[in-house]
Amino acid sequence: MTYLASCGRNTLDVLRVIDSLQIADKRGIKTPINWQVGDDVIVLPTVSTEDGKKKFGEVREDTSYLWYTRI
């Protein structure tokens, strides 16, 4: 993450990014913009709907290539 020195830092956002990276690595998902712990996450497009339902339970399809789930 790159910030200009004059912008200051947001420690909560750094912690949010660490949470996102850890959960993405552990569960094989991606997190959407402005994601917070407890929000829906994105199922990787390489995972079929059936496999996503087996792995995560409920999968919400927004488009043919974008699915969300809660973990």
Per-residue pLDDT tens for 17-29? 999 999 999 999 9
Higher pLDDT, 64 or 43: 43
Among 10, 12, 37, CA closest to 24:
37
User: Picking from 7-11, 14-18, 55-59, which range would have the lowest pLDDT averaged per residue?
Assistant: 7-11
Task: State whether CATH 3.30.1020.10 applies to domain 5-69.
Answer: yes
Q: How far apart are CA 36 and CA 52, in angstroms?
A: 21
Strand partners, 41: 69
pLDDT band at 45 (very low <50, low <70, confident <90, very high): confident
Q: Tell whether pTM > 0.85.
A: no
Distance of CA 10 to the CA centre of its chain: 20
Three-class DSSP category at 2: coil
Query: If residue 47 lies in a helix (H) or strand (E), which one and from where to where?
Result: none
**Would you call 34 helix, strand, or coil by DSSP?**
coil
